Every structure is written in C-alpha cells, then in structure tokens.
Structure 1
C-alpha cells in the first residue's frame, strides 16, 4: 500500500510533494486545505499568516491533524512554514536535499545596487522588508498577496517595479527564468528552513525509516541549526529574523543571523562557525550572542511596530 502524503493544495505545495513521492518510489498525494491557503472567489480571506497577529501554524495545523488522525502517514511541508514546536506525538522524520535557500529578485535589475531609486518592491515578508530598507532606504516596500503566478501577473501589470520571492519556489514551479538575480545571504539573510522540505510523521511510525532513505544529512543539519536559533530567539513569521547555516570545509558549520526593525532603521547581524556535529547547539549559541547584542528588545519593538 503506498504511503499517503499530506500536503497543501497549492501548485507549489503539490510540486514539492510530487518530488518527495518520486524520491520515495511512489506515494499517494492527499491535498489538505489549510487556514493559510487562498480562499475561493467570493470567500473572505483570513488574516495574513505572516502579518500582524498572524500564525505560521495556519499553514500546517490541518495537515498535522490529519497525521494524528491516521488520514495520512507522512506530511510534506516547506521547512520555513513549520513551527519550531511540534504537537505532541509528531516529529520531523527527514529533510530531503535542499534547494537554493536564497531570495530572488524579479524585475529589471542585476543586483541590489542596480534596482532603480524609489522602486516599488512587493513582498509579504517582514524579514525581507527590514533587510531591503536597511540596505536601500530609498525603496518603497509594499505588501503583496497571492500565489506566485498572481504576484508575477501583478508585476506584469505594473503594480510593482519588482518582487522578492524565494529562489526555490520559482524553480520548483518551473519559473526560474523570472529570476533577475539572487540576493547573497549577506545581503538578504534567508528565513530559517528556506529552500528545504520537512517531512513530518507520527512518533515511532515505521514510515520514518522510509523518510530517512531520502534524507540529506547536510540539509537536516543546517535546518536543525536554523530552527534552533529561531526557537531560542522566540521568533516567528511576525518577526524580522533570518538565519542561514552552511556546511564548510573541515566538518564545520557556519551560521549567520539577522534581526531588525521592519522599517530598516536598526538591525543586528552576527555569524558563528564551529564543529558541525552539534547543529542545535550552534544555532542556540548564535541566538544567545544576538540576544546579548540587543535582539530580544529589538524584536519586542518590531512586534509593537506591526501590532
């Protein structure tokens, strides 16, 4: 009997789930509507899950209920959408090989410096907003809603001069040609887990062994480090926080972090490198250093600005 894979029903989520199904040698995709999904025409949309008062668990809660209820054996999530605290009885079963974690610029420019002065840039992410304005306070950063195709259509209709989207999402949807350039992590630190998929299952379920067969140990380590930092900072999608870990030579791991105010007026960046054998410890250590530099107070102020 094939494994039943729980997934959101968006084009991107289904593309990601199909990749996992193919890697497993076949699986049944079970599309589950979540509170974070777009509504049918005429139905009121819920609050933005990553806006003021939002809740990132909106993207996964119904899928986790299906897992706990035995409706599916395995769930496929964008790792950046999975809260750091999982419900009792569930665990991360694996992380397949990671796509490019960087953010992409879609619009007429070849670098951050080349974006025309005063351009109206569309992004729904406070993390991206804070870093764009920190580097380029002349830009107008405006919220944007809808799936990738909807956002690209808005750009074509000149509602925006440019968009910032995830490289991984554009590639998985076959829209890589839209990417003008990718921001380097030192310019725009990605969200924890960006570009990675997280496979979730019930504790002690035999399906975990199958998930392990397609797990990339390096991807699992970097995602674990990033999630540890976010958990230690008590950050969410309501807070302008980026964390990006990479494996470097000599069995070591480097992790960089960013937090700032949504208007880009103040920010903190830090970076650590250490042995890669304890990724969670390294992430927590980065968070502790950032707290020592004022991150906790800064994130409190950021929350007040977006309340």
Structure 2
C-alpha cells in the first residue's frame, strides 16, 4: 500500500510543469516553507528508505528543485526565464562586452550531497565533495563584443511533457501494484462481521443466552435468529465453543501469573510471598472445570 502511494507520487513529480510543483509550494513561499517541503519529501524518497520504482529519480528531482529555489539568485533567474533558464540576461561593461550566462547546470552538489548537508550527515556518511571546474567557451563577435557561456553539466533535469508512449509504459508498470491494492480492498470488504460477541461492544448491544448452558452473549440490533431448531442448535454450539475458548485462555493466563509468583518467591527465598502465591486463585480455571463437569 505504501509503495503504491510512492509510485503515484513519483508519477505526479514527473508530470510537474515547474520546480514549485515538485516541492508542492507556491511561487511566493518563503525559505522556511521550501525547507519544510524539502525535508518531508527528501526523507520519503531517499533511495535508502524508499525502494519503490522511480524513487531515485524522484529524489534527484526534489533535490534539484530545492537547490535552485533555495538560492535567491537562482530562484530569481528561474522565475524570470522558466524551465529552460535561457541565456537572455546580459551584463554590459564599460568596454562594451556582453556576458551571457546559463546557470541551470551549475550544480555544486548532487542530490545525495545536498541531502547530507541539509540533514547534517557529513559525520556519518563518507562523502567526497567535488566541484568541477566550469567549462567556458568564448565566441568573439566583432572587435569588442564577446559572448560568455557556461556549458550545461550532465547532472541536469528537464521537466517536459511526456509522450503518450511513456504514459502507457508507466501505466503498464503500475498494473501489478494496482491489482494488489484492489485485491486487498476486496478482501477487506468480503470479511463478514461475526454474528455475536461474548462481551458488549459498540454494535453488539442486545443480550441473549443459550437455551441449555445459559451462556450470555450479545448480538446486533438487526440480528435475525435461526428459524429452525437445527439451525439454532448449530448457532448456539458456536457460541459455546467461543465461550470455552475464551475462559480457557483466561485460565491459562491466571495459571501463568500464579507460577511466576511462585518462581519469584523461590528466587527471593521469601516464605510469605511463596504462601501468597500458592493462595492465589484462578477463577477462570474453576469456571472452566465447572462448565465441563455440568455440560460435557
């Protein structure tokens, strides 16, 4: 059941149109809300905890979303340019140069490293932090204009609209989990409630008793008694069997308690406690013996 919920959530993440949807926050959410959402999702989808299909991909997407939205500069750039974060923004210097930059690939840490930094696991897990040198290309445009662009790193996630083929493939993967979930629901619905209870409970409020042994039991208000004597005898036999099983269990517990008291008295060499233990009564055992003697 829990795995099924994780899979459904993973599909929702893959269908998200922007990073805010992945974390489940609004575009005006403060930093505290971002951290709260990341903490909850990262713990749920960490590969060491969640073994559901797609959990690793979802975990990386969650880390990617948080790393961008939690950085004020990256968040501002993302809000301005969207998913592609196209290199539209320029800075001009006095020399007339234009600098175009692309920051979607500037990931200082992986999703796992970000997780460990956020939760303070650096002392528990052996992590080597590597910050790759940015690859830069310079294209000369004219005598005084230069275009500066950082190449996108491989550890980048794009959230695009999935084709019908991918949707169908995902649905086929989910079918076994769906059938297991459906079978569990049907099994729960098919389990019928007992016709009686030996003790009064919420639904079982009407008191009845067997004809011969006078055992009291409770039924629901809509109880329909058996119509024939044979059916009634069979029904009351089930009541008697349940009654015997119940008092036998209580008798066993009373005997266990008495034996434990005797054992403790011997270990402590306490004569008074030993005498009290032997005087300990077992009323359920007495009731069981009397019932067997009278109605067996």
Q: TM-score, structure 2 length as denominator?
A: 0.19
Q: Which has the higher contact order (CA 8 A, sep 6+)?
A: 1
Structure ranking higher in helix proportion = 2
Structure ranking higher in strand proportion = 1
